[in-house]
Amino acid sequence: MTMKHLISGKVVVLGVCSSISAYKAADICSKLMKLGVEVHVIMTANATKLITPRVFQTLTHNDVTTDLWAVDNWKPEHTALADKADLFVVVPATANFLGQYANGLAPDALSTYALANRAPTVIFPAMNPFMWSNTAVRDNVATIRRRGARVVTPASGIVACGDEGVGKLPGVDAIVETIEAHLSILELAPAPRSRVVVTAGPTEEHIDVVRFLTNRSTGKMGYCLAAAAAALGHEVTLVSGPVDREAPLDVKLVRVSSARDMLLAVQTAVTGADVLIMAAAVADYTYQDTQARKIKKAGDSLTLNLTRTIDILATISASPTRPKLVGGFAAESHDVIEYALGKLERKGLDFIVANDISGSDRGFGSDHNEVAVLARGGNGDVVQTDVSFARKMTVAAHIFDAAIHVSPGVSSSE
């Protein structure tokens, strides 16, 4: 069985409200266009006072809707766009929009479209921290979430007025990653909400205060898995080795350094969890005697005594309190399926992702990947699902889908 799904050609209707962070929506549009996404922008009247519609028209190559009465067409714009949208995104969303949407009010083009929309909805609020924490706003957010839309929790920091707290619009890259995750899961079957733990990145095994043993993992595959799981509505904890990446939105991030650190963090995180996906490239060996000072050059050679690290995946898999589904990655340069099957059996896993890292266009350091998911079916047979070459976010969504729906446990136990 082969899975292939690309986000290029998908249609996003992007609502822009009158937050000072509205300027970020232009950058978001630009980045989505580069991914091949078709973007249609609807602005509130007050948003046009902060950023001109011409900016979005130029970036998206589409007309911008600001007024329902300005459309020179027999078909109302709010229903015309609703007929073609794959995803509805509001960024930034003000407290005013949240109140309108939660209470079914439609005084302008954006709120009218919101009621006509049938596509999945993702909302990125941005407002003063005291407004975000106001009971009325919190009730409106709860109502919107209860009806099935995703309202992303704002970032914490200093907002434009100088107040500090939760209310900032997240970074552009994190928002685009979240939108890409939602576009990547559009065709996937739903699964019961689960507690998911994902690991990502390399580990660092220190030799002295300056030097350490590590590998080429950038953590992108694991971060995409966490973002995809969050987009699917799961409660996600990401245990990450040292990488220079923003945490996926609405994901609990636990940063670690060494293999031992990761073991302890994973053991804590999987308590009560349903799924563990080990995408981290954990060091196989660690230095036996880390030096508190920098080792000085002496002689022509240096011998390091290395010892095996504890196998985190095998340890968790063998635990009587293991999650319902435990899986990992087999990053190999040759005989990929054979080695992956061996690892699946040897470690008692429910699924494994066979990852061919021999090509320069995929795997470590690349934005793309191509994998095979080997999962135990209900009768114990191993089912292979091939995920075709695509961006890592798309691949991540299909890895998660294959693992959840082929393996018995999470999808069949609720």
Domain of 347, CATH number, reads: 3.40.50.10300
The Cα–Cα gap between 361 and 348 comes to 31
Same domain, 234 and 130: no
Please confirm, yes or no, whether 17 is among the known catalytic residues: no
Last residue of a domain, one of 159, 182, 205: 182
Contacts of 186 (CB under 8 A, 6+ apart): 5, 10, 86, 87, 120
Same domain, 384 and 279: yes
Count Cβ atoms below 10 Å from residue 152 Cβ, excluding itself.
19
Instruction: Say if CB 4 and CB 388 are below 8 A apart.
Output: yes
Same domain, 200 and 302: yes
The Cα–Cα gap between 27 and 55 comes to 10
Domain count, the chain: 2
User: Could you give the C-alpha distances from 80 to 65, 83, 226, 261, in angstroms and in order?
Assistant: 12, 5, 34, 53
Same domain, 29 and 138: yes
Q: Would you state the pLDDT for residue 77? A: 65
Same domain, 36 and 161: yes
Q: Would you state the pLDDT for residue 2? A: 46
Last residue of a domain, one of 182, 208, 243: 182
Same domain, 345 and 407: yes
Range of the domain at 290: 191-413
User: Would you say the pTM of this structure is higher than 0.85?
Assistant: yes
Same domain, 86 and 127: yes
Same domain, 270 and 163: no
Of 84, 26, 35, 85, residue with least CA distance to 59: 26
Domain of 60, CATH number, reads: 3.40.50.1950
Instruction: Say if CB 368 and CB 391 are below 8 A apart.
Output: yes
Please, what's the b/e burial string for 370-407 (b: 16 or more CB within 10 A of its CB; e: otherwise)? bbbbbbbeeeeeebbbebeebbbbbbbbbbbbbbbbbb
Same domain, 101 and 127: yes
pLDDT in tens, the chain (414 residues): 444 457 999 999 999 999 999 999 999 999 999 999 999 999 999 999 999 999 999 999 999 999 887 666 656 666 789 999 999 999 999 999 999 999 999 999 999 999 999 999 999 999 999 999 999 999 999 999 999 999 999 999 999 989 999 999 999 999 999 999 999 999 998 888 999 999 999 999 999 999 999 998 999 999 999 999 999 999 999 999 999 999 999 999 999 999 999 999 999 999 999 999 999 999 999 998 888 888 888 888 888 899 999 999 999 999 999 999 999 999 888 999 999 999 999 999 999 999 988 777 776 778 999 999 999 987 889 999 999 999 999 999 999 999 888 776 665 444
Last residue of a domain, one of 132, 163, 182: 182
Pull the structure tokens for residue 411.
């999808």
Q: Would you state the pLDDT for residue 411? A: 53
Same domain, 169 and 251: no
Q: Would you state the pLDDT for residue 201? A: 97
Q: Would you state the pLDDT for residue 72? A: 62
Helix (H, G, I), strand (E, B) or coil at 149: coil
Same domain, 273 and 387: yes
Same domain, 128 and 225: no
